[in-house]
Amino acid sequence: MKKLLIIISVICITILSCAKKGRPSGGEKDITPPVMLSATPENYSTNFTGQEIKIYFNEYVKLNDLTKQLIISPPLKTRPLITPQGGASKYVKIKIYDTLQPNTTYSFSFGKSIVDNNENNPYPYFKYVFSTGKSIDSLELNGSIRDAITKTADDFVSVMLYEVDSTFTDSVVYNKTPRYITNTLDSTTNFKFENLKAGKYLLTALKEETDNYKFNQKTDKIAFKKEFITIPNEEAHELTLFKEIQDYKALRAKHERKNRIKFRYEGEATEAVIIKLLSDKNIVSTITKEVDNDTLQYWFKPNVDLDSLNFTMTHKQEIDSFTVRIRKKVKADSLSFNPVSISLALDGNYKIVPSIPVMTIDDSKIKILDKDSIVVPFKSSVDKLTSIINLEFKKEESQKYTISILPEAFTDFFDATNDTLNYRASTKALSAYGNFKVTLNNAPSTPLVVQLVTRTGAVKYEKTGTGVYVYDFLNVNPDTYSLRVVFDDNNNKKYDTGNYLKKLQPERIAYHPEEIEIRANWDVDEQFTLK
């Protein structure tokens, strides 16, 4: 009887266990990418004459980020319709609208855009290839992209080959699509061309704002190989991506205030821009430039009672004409002053920005006192281009200064003067700064520019030298910097970018492999071997 009770108890427990509700296991996550089963026409078909392609998979797939990932080479004038769009299907369909070139190998490189419907597992770097001729071109070209200024190159850089034939000119990068195109996508700086035919080519790369494969100097970065490439070619080619300085172009002129006209331009003015009034000869004028903008301010007196003024704006041999409508109800500028900063660098000047150009300074009405009320000698000057006022004096650490400016110390272009101005400024203790010394190994005897750059790319400190191998940076604000060396080929003590039409490559920049941390009251001594 006892054995029977035990057996019954076991049976009951088993039944209850089976009846207990629980959450079923979902199993392991699917990480298997979709598999292509077939294609119509078959992949790597020859003598292709159709307008529609279907590529079949073993499961439902969808297209992810197709606009960036898909590379069609050679490019088509009309982008084909590729489905599914916004849904899932067991096949990808390509509908071609262009007339295809004869005896040409086409490739559709999908990158990582084909993914399964459930887990977004990509079918990586799938490519569909066909030829309108009797054979598939099979030659290759490899290389890599680097950026001229930054440590890392951009992603999704288009790399292009232009066929050098009887119609070739250097302007093809502006107005024609390339013969072949590939892309670095988002995971590497390397590129690879496949299915090329033998021939001579121009090798270029673009980081574009618009994906039209045509160079726009205003928005795009460009890289190019100066020498033509002959295919077949087994060399690995490195391309340096850079932003050209935009060509000068006068834009417009506008009457901004009662006695001020704004002239805007874009690009670099490598020589002075001359603004000449063609009408009223009694007008007196001066011109200033905005510090951070490509804008010139034309200040004039006396007031004019005209509907318009005619000007020419000249840069080098380029002359533009402007008729500026004079607005009757605009306000006049009023004189005011703003200091640049209350924190003084030990080797910097105290700067004051006037709202109207200052023409004269009366130093006898300016007094600088330290915290002990001791008079500090100074020199004053005005930057003729920006009209910024500079007060130059010897500064000491941990010092506080009072700048007292009496009325009529500053006289502006319209003969207005300042009211009483009082400013305060201070310097930090030397212990608040760090010092940095770098020894360059394997350095050339040619000119160099050595820079400390912030993570945002701003140059904070720099020194120049020729045949100098040790550089000392004193009183550096604590921060994390990148150390870079510019090979200053033209000895103008600054970095110069390249120019495609002039066949100029950007000046080389070498980065120290590690970031440099500068701490307060610390000395950092670093070795940098240039390669």
The residues facing 311 across adjacent strands are 277, 322
Tokens 């020419």 belong to 312
> What's the pLDDT band for 282 if we cut at 50, 70, 90?
confident
Range of the domain at 394: 337-428
Q: Are residues 147 and 231 in the same domain?
A: yes
Taking a C-beta distance cutoff of 8 angstroms, is the pair 121, 34 a contact? yes
**pLDDT, greater one: 271 or 2:** 271
Please report, for the domain that includes residue 146, its CATH number.
2.60.40.1120
User: 230 lies in a domain?
Assistant: yes
User: Over 80: is that where the pLDDT of 332 sits?
Assistant: yes
Q: What is the pLDDT of residues 450-493, one digit of tens each?
A: 999 999 989 999 999 998 999 999 999 999 999 999 999 999 99
Residues in the chain: 531
Question: Higher-confidence residue: 374 or 27?
Answer: 374
Note the pLDDT tens digit of each residue in 286-300. 999 998 888 999 999
> Using the 8-state DSSP alphabet, how is residue 411 labeled?
E
Question: What CATH code is carried by the domain that includes residue 408?
Answer: 2.60.40.1220
Q: What is the pLDDT of residue 187?
A: 65
Reported as a pLDDT band with limits 50, 70 and 90, residue 268 is confident
Q: Are both 162 and 103 inside the same structural domain?
A: no
Q: Give the end of a domain, one of 78, 98, 131.
A: 131
220, two tokens: 């795009």
Q: 45-95, pLDDT tens digit by residue? A: 999 999 999 999 999 999 998 988 899 999 998 999 999 988 999 999 999
Decide if 21 is inside a domain.
no
What is the per-residue pLDDT for 5?
44
Q: Are 324 and 254 in contact (CB under 8 A)?
A: yes
| Bridge partners, residue 95, by sequence | 52, 81
pLDDT, averaged across the chain: 91
d(CA 151, CA 223): 16
Rounded mean pLDDT of 369-375? 96
Residues 90, 56 contacting (CB under 8 angstroms) = yes
pLDDT score for 31: 76
pLDDT over 80 at 12, yes or no: no
Q: Is 40 helix (H, G, I), strand (E, B) or coil?
A: strand
The pLDDT of residue 430 is above 50? yes
**Inside any domain, residue 52:** yes
Q: What is the pLDDT of residues 87-120, one digit of tens each?
A: 999 999 999 999 999 999 999 999 889 999 988 8
pTM of the model: 0.82
242 close to 498: Cβ distance less than 8 angstroms: yes
Of 113, 131, 149, the residue at which a domain comes to its end is: 131
In a domain, 13, yes or no: no
Q: Which H or E run includes 290? A: none
Q: Count Cβ atoms below 10 Å from residue 212 Cβ, excluding itself.
A: 12
For residue 379, tell me if it sits in a domain.
yes
Query: What Cα–Cα distance (Å) separates residue 241 from each residue in 147, 190, 230, 375, 529?
Result: 5, 13, 21, 54, 24
DSSP H helix total and E strand total for the chain: 3, 40
- Average pLDDT on 186-196 reads 87
What are residue 12's phi and psi, to 5 degrees? Answer: -65, -45
